[in-house]
């Protein structure tokens, strides 16, 4: 596989046609070696338009889906970002090129270890990686300017809301297995939460997230 050509095609044929126009984001994804974040048995699919299994009942989002989610954060470079669920570490690396500081947390030790290894290998100095259950937010360095959640949660919890500053935004996958949508979540001037659905998606549910009441109608 010609890695450089595959990466170019990912940008030009998958990501840009999906209304991703942020030049800094495109530049980050055009230069990061995505194949190095992929489990070895799936490495040949690194630039394919598919989700990739990571183990532990989690998966790596399709590149165009991740790009749209990160673009929706509208990062300008000065932000403090919380990523709940670092997974492969690829999104963490992309975020590190777009924000001032990135806090990446995951409950799965293998994912934390891998993300730390990528951080060291690529000499990324603005990422902090912690093994934490942040399914209900993480206040250790709050408030954050932006929060990214790339595995599905049924709803935005109070803990996650409290982790964000008043002018920030959460981009998350909200819903159950039957219906999941990438959603921009913001607080308006009346202190009410506004939810803007971007697109439907199918992915794994976050470990330890709050389960909805199955008998609610």
- State the Cα–Cα distance between residues 178 and 19, nearest whole angstrom: 26
Q: Mind listing the pLDDT tens digit for each residue in 201-216?
A: 999 999 877 665 543 4
What is the pTM (predicted TM-score) of this model? Answer: 0.94
Domains of the chain in sequence order = 3-200 (3.40.50.150)
| Residues in Cβ contact with 85 at an 8 Å cutoff, skipping those fewer than 6 apart | 58, 105, 106, 111, 134, 149, 150, 151, 206
Please give the share of the chain, as a percent, with pLDDT higher than 90.
89
Task: Determine the distance from the C-alpha atom of residue 41 to the mean position of all C-alpha atoms in its chain, rounded to a whole number.
Answer: 22
- Write down the residue that tokens 């590190």 correspond to: 96
Residues in the chain: 217
Closest CA to 182 of 11, 13, 19, 21: 19
Residue-averaged pLDDT of the chain? 94
């Amino acid at each position: 596989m010609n890695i450089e050509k595959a990466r170019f095609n990912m940008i030009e044929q998958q990501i840009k046609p999906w209304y991703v126009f942020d030049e800094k984001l495109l530049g980050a994804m055009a230069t990061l070696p995505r194949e190095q974040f992929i489990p070895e048995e799936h490495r040949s699919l690194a630039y394919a338009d598919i989700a990739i299994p990571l183990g532990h009942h989690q998966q790596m989002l399709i590149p165009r889906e991740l790009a749209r989610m990160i673009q929706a954060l509208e990062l300008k470079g000065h932000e403090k970002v919380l990523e709940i669920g670092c997974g492969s570490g690829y999104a963490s690396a992309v975020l590190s090129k777009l924000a001032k500081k990135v806090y990446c947390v995951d409950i799965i030790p293998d994912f934390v270890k891998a993300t730390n290894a990528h951080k060291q290998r690529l000499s990324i100095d603005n990422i902090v990686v912690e093994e934490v259950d942040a399914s209900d937010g993480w206040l250790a360095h709050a408030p954050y300017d932006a929060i990214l959640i790339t595995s599905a949660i049924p709803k935005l919890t109070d803990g996650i809301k409290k982790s964000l500053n008043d002018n920030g935004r959460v981009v998350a996958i909200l819903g159950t297995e039957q219906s999941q949508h990438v959603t921009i979540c913001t607080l308006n001037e009346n202190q009410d939460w506004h939810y803007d659905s971007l697109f439907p998606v199918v992915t794994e549910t976050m470990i330890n997230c709050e389960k909805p009441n199955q008998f609610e109608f």
